[in-house]
Amino acid sequence: MAADVNQIGDTLMALERSLNERWSSGDSSGYLGNYHEDISYFDPVAETLLVGRSSVVAHISKIYSNPHIVRNEYLNPHVIVSDAGDLAVLSYNLNTFVTDESGEEKLLRAWNSTEVYRLIDKQWRIVHSNWALTKSFAGAIAS
């Protein structure tokens, strides 16, 4: 199964990169088109769990603007695949960079991303998405 996990991981990371690169250049339709009808979704702006593609699309459409991201760093990707090979959890850290006033790159945001993909009709579709800022508190806390 290890070869299958690696192959699925490579496939999902390539898909995730392609969706995110579109997002970064101002085209949110890649992610929105990939979301399953019954997706569940969290992000730092959503006050509650969003359920259903129409709810997620409405939420993102309301808050999305072209971020003009010039570079992304995909760090620490990790994939867990179900025994049947039809469900996978992809987690990674994402650093997004924009150009500042002097034309230099600067970090826009650092994210923790978790995407749950399900193989449906031979296509990997996102069934759960969770985006969290890596540093949302000044210190380490748990409660």
User: What would the pLDDT profile of 87-123 be if each residue is shown by its tens digit?
Assistant: 999 999 999 999 999 999 999 999 999 999 999 999 9
| pLDDT value at residue 75 | 97
Residue 19 lies in a domain: yes
Query: Does residue 143 lie within any of the structural domains?
Result: no
**Residue 140 within a domain:** no
Buried b / exposed e across 97-124, counting CB within 10 Å, b at 16+? beeeeeeeeeebbebbbebbbbbeeeeb
Range of the domain at 104: 2-133
Residue 137's Cβ-count burial label (10 Å; 0-12, 13-18, 19+) is exposed
CATH number at residue 28: 3.10.450.50
Domain count, the chain: 1
Pairing label, strands 50-51, 105-120 = unpaired
Per-residue model confidence (pLDDT) at position 2: 47
* Interval 47-71: pLDDT, tens: 999 999 999 999 999 998 888 999 9
pLDDT exceeds 90 at position 15:
yes
Q: Is residue 141 part of a domain?
A: no
* Structure confidence at residue 1 (pLDDT): 45
Tell me, yes or no, whether 32 lies in a domain. Answer: yes
Residue 139 lies in a domain: no
